[in-house]
Amino acid sequence: MQIETYGQQMDVTPALRSYVENRFERLGRHFEGDCEIRVQLGLEKPHHKAIATINVSGRTLHGDATGQDMYAAIDLLVDKLDRQLVKHKEKQVEQRRGDGLAKSSLVD
């Protein structure tokens, strides 16, 4: 998993970078292969904003969150992306099962 963190009109401190990497490691349990995560941190006064784009298995997931401080925004963002990844994974499992299961339930 590759995590790229950058700031929009702000400097990303080593503490913020470390926090982002620690929180986004939690998302690694949803996929086996490589993925790319781009995290943009910025300030929209009076709120802090975090935006992320995840490229995983030919699909791009996007999320953004605002909070009172940057750490709260990052936490909200990770929660949103976690829900998106769970939904994406469920769709993949349904596609792997095939249409046979769905068609047999319609016939009954």
Domains, the chain, with CATH or none? 2-107 (3.30.160.100)
Residues 48, 25, 22, CA angle at the centre, nearest 5°?
Answer: 55
Q: How many helices (H) and strands (E) does the chain have?
A: 3, 4
The CA-atom distances, in angstroms, between 71 and each of 1, 7, 49, 76 are 21, 14, 10, 9
pLDDT in tens, the chain (108 residues): 888 999 998 899 999 999 999 999 888 887 777 788 999 999 988 899 999 999 877 789 999 999 999 999 999 999 999 999 888 888 877 777 775 455 445 554
